[in-house]
Structure 1
């Protein structure tokens, strides 16, 4: 496989499929929407709707903008790659490529890069707005870089999956629908599977609680001599959280939660809350949970005891990040699509299904 052959196929694919007026209109709409979101904060601040620091508002708009760009890319990408092979086969334009000295790997990789570049173009249009939102929201530069890497790998994996399905099916509509189903399985299917599997990992946990009480003699706070024991059902989410690893939005949340971004007035962004929620799911649930407030408060202390069971938004992650594993998983899925397409375009092909032609 040579770069010259890959580049030839990529240029042909871009000239044949991507150069349309509707694509430029879509890019302009994405750019206008991201710019519009960026300009809403000064307008709302001038009208008095934002009383505190607008940095948290910029972070929320950044999360919305980035998720919007990723969503648009996941919608456009299947239409670019899922018809790349069977569409050329139906139009009888694949045969000239196979008749040349180009290898099947060069054809597949060239088509993959063409669809990948076309999908990333939406990120290029929204890039300046995302950069300004990152600076205005006082976010760490590592957040933007990590998000860009996750988005790039996700779009590339979807392009490769669509390319593999395009080589396996005869009709372009079938491969397009199957690619959208694969995307839906990554985005919606993973949290749905986690929710369905939750009742299967439900168990019983014993709660041992030591309460504090006021003494009748000197109004001091003392511990109760014996604890209260109760049982409750808990869900061992630490056994099923891994189902969310292939989800690109979960990977974005995990990267945001592990980034060294300072908290603003106890508030947090949407992606960070998502990452913290998944990090909480990874906490193991013991069979016996002991809540002993006596260890945190001396008996001679007369100050009130305050126990906060609700985690604040300034909570930190306690587990290592899993978004690199998400990238490896998406890369493996994409590699499977590329290998499948390369084998299907190999000449001579051997026996083909009835009613199917090679080119």
Structure 2
């Protein structure tokens, strides 16, 4: 496997995608749609500002970023969900397989093209994302971290969609299964977590001199069900914003910035992992969740890539029914 071979396949894939003029129209519509919605969101935040302490750039950054992540996860399967079986249907995949290119080079080349196209779409969202950075509401370091994590999560979707494309004969079916997988990660993980909470509940009898029976839920036993969720990974990986100190009598309390979607979601998830929560001067020091979730997602992408390469090995012992070889 060589970088030259991967580059050849990636360039060929990109040329194929650019042969039609639809990509320019789609990218222009994506740019105007996402940034237009981001601007409207900012205007709504400014109109609803209630206190001088409220900083509209903070909720704008978090809200737009989470929206961009979900939109990217919905759009990306269409970019790579037919990269393999689409070529099979057109009878062009065999042309690559009879060359000296290895299955790994074909796999990684196609993945690089799909991922690169997705990253271009991500770059087009930067005007609305970097406005709070230019205003000073969000630090450049925080913006860089969340953008890198978003790019990695988009790459995971590309790898999984490509694997479905290699496994299934029809592109429509592979794209559908890619969306089912994304639905399982985005919606299925919190749903499974909610269904598992009653299983962890334990009843405690009345204490001496009392007659109250209460139920305690142990979310620290099932927090890992939420960790692969891309939204959870992104929010928990975002560096914390600086906290302000509030003096109440002899105590000094730390207050997190209000209306920070990423920070609030991160604190909630860490509370779930901690169980009853651990606070010191109002600050949650619970263990992070995102390393486990990101490791799971990257392992899923690695397994999907290996599966795609295995499906591209030749000679084929059995050709799926209705599939063209050349």
Instruction: With the length of structure 1 as denominator, give the TM-score of the two structures.
Output: 0.78
Matching residue within 342, 345, 358 for 2:309: 342
Corresponding residue for residue 27 of structure 1: 27
Moved more, 243-252 or 62-71: 62-71
Match runs of 1:130-149 below 5 Å: 130-136=129-135, 138-149=137-148
Corresponding residue for residue 235 of structure 2: 253
| Pairing 1:160–2:162 present | no
SS at structure 2 position matched to 1:204: strand
Corresponding residue for residue 12 of structure 2: 12
| Pairing 1:197–2:196 present | yes
Shift of 1:132: 1.9
Aligned 8 A contact 1:59 1:134 in 2:
no
**CA RMSD of superposed structures (Å):** 2.9
SS at structure 1 position matched to 2:287: coil
| Pairing 1:275–2:275 present | no
Shift of 1:252: 1.8
Question: Could you say if the C-alpha distance between residues 358 and 320 of structure 1 is closer, same or farther in structure 2, counting changes exceeding 3 Å?
Answer: farther
SS at structure 1 position matched to 2:212: strand
Shift of 1:28: 2.7
Match runs of 1:177-188 below 5 Å: 177-188=176-187
Corresponding residue for residue 91 of structure 1: 90
SS at structure 2 position matched to 1:146: helix
Moved more, 3-12 or 126-135: 126-135
Corresponding residue for residue 323 of structure 1: 290
Question: Could you say if the C-alpha distance between residues 285 and 273 of structure 1 is closer, same or farther in structure 2, counting changes exceeding 3 Å?
Answer: closer
| Unmatched tracts of structure 1, length 5 or more | 209-225, 287-310
Aligned 8 A contact 2:91 2:324 in 1:
no
Shift of 1:118: 0.8
| Unmatched tracts of structure 2, length 5 or more | 245-254
SS at structure 2 position matched to 1:233: strand
Corresponding residue for residue 262 of structure 1: 243
Corresponding residue for residue 242 of structure 1: 224
Which is higher, the Rg of structure 1 or of structure 2?
A: 1
Shift of 1:69: 1.5
SS at structure 1 position matched to 2:203: strand
Alpha-carbon separation, structure 1, partners of 2:209 and 2:55 = 43
Provide the aligned length of Structure 1 versus Structure 2.
314
